[in-house]
Amino acid sequence: MEAILTLLFLAFILWVIWQLFALVGDMAERRGQDRLLWQVAALFINPFGAIVLLWLFVSVRENP
């Protein structure tokens, strides 16, 4: 039973990490930036740092 709970917990943690990187990519696309570039940057700094950088330095691109 403990092994199953451990695997479920591991799967949940991996899903959360996946969602953080997807969020960085979505934020970059909304701002007209390259999605892959920001996801790679998030690997080297961290997803939270990339989110903060996107919020501070890149404005959201409005569609005409």
Chain segment 36-51, per-residue pLDDT in tens: 999 999 999 999 999 9
Average pLDDT across the chain, whole number: 93
Cα 11 to Cα 14, 16, 46, distances in angstroms: 5, 9, 20
Quickly state the pLDDT bin for 64 (edges 50, 70, 90).
Answer: low
Separation CA 29–CA 34 (nearest Å): 7
pLDDT of residue 29: 93
* Phi, psi for 7 (deg, rounded to 5): -65, -40
Question: How confident is residue 61, by pLDDT bands cut at 50, 70 and 90?
Answer: confident
Measure the CA–CA gap between 52 and 8, rounded to whole angstroms: 30
